[in-house]
Structure 1
Amino acid sequence: MATVNIRRDVTDPFYRYKMEKIQSKIEGKGNGIKSVIVNLPSIANSLSRPPIYVVKYFGFELGAQTNTGDHDRWIINGAHEATKLQDLLDGFITKFVLCKECQNPETDLSISKDQNIIRNCKACGQRTKVDPRLKLSGYILKNPQQKDKDKKDKKEKKDRKKSKANGDENKEHSNSEEDSNKNGNGNGHVQPTSNLDVYAAEAGSDDEFTRTITDAANEISADGSGEGKHSFAIDTSEKAVRERQKHELTAAVERLTMGGDDEEGDDDSPYDQFAVWFDVQEGKPTDVDDIEIYKKLQELGLERKHKTPQVLAQCLFNEDITKQITPRAGMLKKLISSDRHEKAFLGGIERLIGKEYPTLLASVPTILHQIYEKEIVSEEAILKWGEKPSKRYVDTATSKKVKKAAEPFLTWLKEADEDESEDEDDE
């Protein structure tokens, strides 16, 4: 898809800040004619602004009503060509995105105590006011950019959680030598006792959170009943690897077209085509380049579909998922742009573990922790997903097993939120 510089007055082809060109289509006729902005979410994401701000700005400037529908169709009443909307977008960028000091688009919006809209520039650090006389300014004051504020709050919250966990760790440090002698080799190093321990050790993680979910995960057996403390060994012999690859290939189309969305599949659906393309790539799933994947999704018209994150969860990952999430985080964050995308991605993870790799049950807390840390899926979406079993992506019994395995992480999230609330009340 064609891209342009966010600042179109900058002609440098290597200018780092780019966005897609506006794509619009005119529908209806007579009094019912309307313009649909096809790729507005992608453009808004490049500008770090909610799509609703952009479409509202267009409405104010054109004197036309807007309709957001189900957030897939961003509609402006009347016939408006893409070139005209692109010119209007330049005005939005100048007034609500670019730093007034350095003209850099890398800004966030916040609302000050005196009800001024502030552009916070990440490049030069300046805080500049948005003109309060603009019509969109009134809308923003009534509808602040909650998602970005939540991201900042979540980051600060996570930092405080880590600090608190490290503080608890220091309190227990006096007992660590005795614990090491019991569980380790006598020199203070604890030997990993499960897959969760191994992955945590490889990631260099030794905080209280990892130890907490490790202890709980060790109680989870292969059937998710919570009985037993057996870790799961993965057969890495050449024969076993070949068998797994054969299994993945034959199950690909079936797994990509089952469950989890209202988009119908058929024998030659775009998802089937993507599955065939992906499975014939040479090497392991991790060898398929993110850019090539994104290009293929664009070619098939799948990059904005809500079911796509579910499909990717089942394509990109296998029994080594705990090592595969981080390298894919950038692409996944670009593709997962709504609550429905988040739900579908978690559903794909649930199906991957519950149906294809049940030996990963003990690693569910670690997997969710990585998804949360990389901000691929929001805390709210994870907690909502874990509320109760669902038959949307797998059968109810399997869903129950996966979500039971997730309980240590879900509990940690809830308790951390309660601690945050108490700390705020104390302040």
Structure 2
Amino acid sequence: MATINVRRDVKDSFYRYKMPRLLSKVEGKGNGIKTVVPNMTEIARALSRPPSYPTKYFGCELGAQVKCDDKNERYIVNGEHDAERLQTILDGFISKFVLCASCRNPETDIIIKNDDILMDCKACGAQNMADMRHKLSTYIVKNPPAQASKNQRKQRKAATAQTNELGGGFENEEGGSDDDIISQRINKEAAGLSMESKLAQEDWSEDTSEAAVAQRMRELSVKGVAAFAEDDDEGGESKYELFGAWLDEQDNNTISDDDIIAKAEELDVYGKYKACQVLVQCIFDESIAAQIPKRANLLRKFVTEEKHQKAALGGLERLVGLEYKDALMKKVPGILMKLYDVEIIEDDVFIKWGEKPSKKYVAKDVSKAVKKAAQPFLEWIENASEEEDSD
């Protein structure tokens, strides 16, 4: 996921306060159109604020209703809003409720005192009052953030100390430190020397047994594919095969969402549409209808745009048509309804997918059989979409 400076007015590429670039996903149509921010949790974590704060700020600035589902990590703003517009509004939230008014660093904690919001800066020690005139202030007072744990404070303190290790330097008008770049380079060199020292102490004798050699070959193949595989539209099939083989080896009842995401990132397939097809085909079995709600958060993190949705349906075709034909073919309408209920696939994508058989993921006759079995659901969703347009 691409990262940007927390303060977008700072163009320094070495600026150490980073956050993910905001993503937006428009769902529904007509009066039911809405914009989902799929990575709001990651953005909020980078800002050390609850995800509901920036989401509510969007609602205040846009005059729109919002929905914060912390349990499922789903944050919605009613209406159609593009990512750049929301990113600009987020800049306003950061300026008002994240940055220290004295040093302009984002190392602040919110303290509620006598119904006032104080911004306690861990970088310079200043305490400044937030803008109490903004509508969000009332929400923050009524929903104060959980206090930062001692471990989080230690980590942040250590990060601050690393930058100021050589005496801090003079601050410019923007609040940044003039010697940030020099400090970071020295710290990197020091880290490199420390690593060299550790490497010197390592035992470099190599296990040459047959099993050890086979294991190293597997590791090299994974690393090589991750580093050199081309874009998923232009080849690089091996990394998806490795991802699928790894998923098949896991126990679907015990493997966590975080472990799956970590493996996808290791193989450089996270965020790629073909990974969505492999994921659906490999993490589900004949109990898919019961498994979808449990894996809804994982699916939302992989399936973020229309191309991903189509690939996920392609994975479903393979799962039903090739692996569990006898057990699942008659259950296709119910499976699609589960995907609809957890808002993984948009109405238009379902309808386009069901229009005609395709040989992209399975043989054409298999695709035809799956989509024929899906007809009750497809007719229902098409009628529902027409009624929504009419309303």
TM-score range, shorter chain: 0.3 to 0.5
> What is the TM-score when the length of structure 1 is the normalising length?
0.42
